[in-house]
Every structure is written in structure tokens, then in C-alpha cells.
């Protein structure tokens, strides 16, 4: 476990500024990666501060989470560099488009991993469409999410796919570990209590 924690610490040193920048700007990309990021940080802190006993499950969670986080952040940084010439604020204007592209990667992986046939042409066309919006800095229509959703349903029969992304799995892990990912404020309307 010590080796993978050391690897994470080095990766974090190289990428934490970018991640915190996403968080501080309320980017949907941060919301996307936060379950993995928070779980890895929690495990790291428990290991460092409380001598967390490592077992196969903890090691596997950490290894899968680190690989996924590494892949997602590298892809974001490539888009930032290549499509936006490192203009972070313009990149943020398209963070939903980048999020859809990351989702499409996850979906393709799941479909292929589960050996489910899918319409590669529709998927490739959707990815190309999203990349063109980003590369050309085109207008993002208000109903882009509806369009992406309708195209995703043309890609494969989603009724037979129990698609549980790594993000969904890490949300469950966070809940099991007692990590509060999404803090909601309760408001009482009416008289002061």
C-alpha cells in the first residue's frame, strides 16, 4: 500500500492545483471526479494518520480510483492545452461538453467490457459533434443535454445494460466510508425558530 500511496502523493503534487482550480470555479468536471478524489484522499489520510490496515479491497479501490482519476485529469488537461491553448476560463465555458466526452469514453468502455453490441457510427458521430463544438468554440445550445441523451439511446439498448460507472461505485464507497460528498443546506420558510 505504501508504494501506491507514494505514487498518489506524487500524482497529487502534479495535479492538485488543476483539481482545486476546477473546484474553486464550481466546474461540473470537479463534481464528476470529486467522489474518486475524496475517497482516495480519505483512504490516504486514514493510512497516514491512523495506520489504516491495507487489505485487497482497499488496495483495489485505491488502484482503480487512481487510474481512473489519472485518466480523467489527463484527458481534461489535453483538451485544455489543445483546444483552448491553456485558457482555463474559456475551457470552463465548455466543461459540460468535456464532461459529455468523458461520459462517452466511460460508456464505450462499459459496452465493450460487457460485450454489448452498439452503434459505433452513432457514437463516433456524437463524439465528433461534441469535439467540433469544443474545438471551434461553437455555441452550446440550451438543449444540448437532451440531444446527447437522445443520441446515447440510439447507441445501444440501455434497458439491458446495468451501467454503473466508476463514479457511481465511488459514490457508494464514499457513503460506506461516511464521507459527505454533497452538502445540502436546509432552509426553513416561515417564522424564525
pLDDT computed for residue 180 by the predictor: 87
H or E stretch at 42: helix 28-50
pLDDT at 94: 97
Residue 60's pLDDT is 95
Closest CA to 127 of 144, 113, 142, 148: 148
pLDDT at position 193: 44
> For every residue of 155-191, which 3-state class applies, written as one string?
HCCHHHCCCCCHHHHHHHHHHHHCCCCCCCCCCCCCC
Among 89, 84, 100, 78, which Cα is nearest to 21's?
A: 89
| DSSP 8-state symbol, 76 | H
Q: Can you say how many angstroms the Cα of residue 45 is from the centroid of all Cα atoms in its chain? A: 22
What is the predicted pLDDT for the residue at 50?
A: 83
- Backbone CA torsion sign across 90, 21, 148, 182: negative
Q: Compute mean pLDDT per 10 residues along the chain, 193 residues long, and list them.
A: 92 96 96 96 90 85 96 97 96 97 93 89 97 94 95 81 84 93 54 46
Determine if residue 155 is left, alpha or beta; phi over 0 gives left, psi from -120 to 50 gives alpha, anything else beta.
alpha
Q: What is the dihedral of CA 167, 168, 173, 176, to 10 degrees?
A: 150
Local structure of 17: helix, strand or coil: helix
pLDDT of residue 187: 44
What pLDDT, on the 0 to 100 scale, is given for residue 18?
A: 97
Q: Which residues of 159-176 are buried (b: 16+ CB within 10 A; e: fewer)?
A: eeeeeebbbebbbebbee
Predicted pLDDT at 161? 66
How buried is residue 32: exposed, middle or buried, by Cβ count under 10 Å (0-12/13-18/19+)? buried
Amino acid at each position: 500500500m505504501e508504494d501506491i500511496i507514494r505514487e498518489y502523493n506524487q500524482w497529487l503534487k502534479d495535479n492538485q492545483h488543476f483539481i482545486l482550480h476546477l473546484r474553486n470555479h464550481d466546474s461540473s468536471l470537479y463534481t464528476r471526479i470529486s467522489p474518486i478524489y475524496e475517497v482516495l484522499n480519505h483512504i490516504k489520510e486514514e493510512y497516514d494518520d491512523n495506520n489504516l490496515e491495507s487489505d485487497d479491497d482497499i488496495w483495489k479501490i485505491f488502484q482503480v480510483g487512481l487510474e481512473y482519476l489519472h485518466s480523467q485529469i489527463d484527458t481534461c488537461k489535453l483538451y485544455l492545452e489543445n483546444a483552448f491553448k491553456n485558457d482555463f476560463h474559456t475551457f470552463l465555458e465548455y466543461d459540460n461538453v468535456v464532461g459529455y466526452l468523458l461520459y462517452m469514453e466511460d460508456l464505450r468502455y462499459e459496452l465493450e467490457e460487457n460485450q454489448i453490441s452498439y452503434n459505433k457510427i452513432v457514437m463516433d458521430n456524437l463524439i465528433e459533434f461534441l469535439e467540433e463544438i469544443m474545438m471551434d468554440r461553437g455555441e452550446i445550445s440550451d438543449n444540448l443535454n437532451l440531444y446527447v441523451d437522445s443520441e446515447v439511446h440510439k447507441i445501444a439498448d440501455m434497458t439491458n445494460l446495468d451501467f454503473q460507472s466508476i463514479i457511481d461505485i465511488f459514490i457508494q464507497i464514499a457513503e460506506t466510508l461516511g464521507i459527505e460528498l454533497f452538502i445540502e443546506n436546509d432552509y426553513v420558510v416561515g417564522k424564525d425558530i
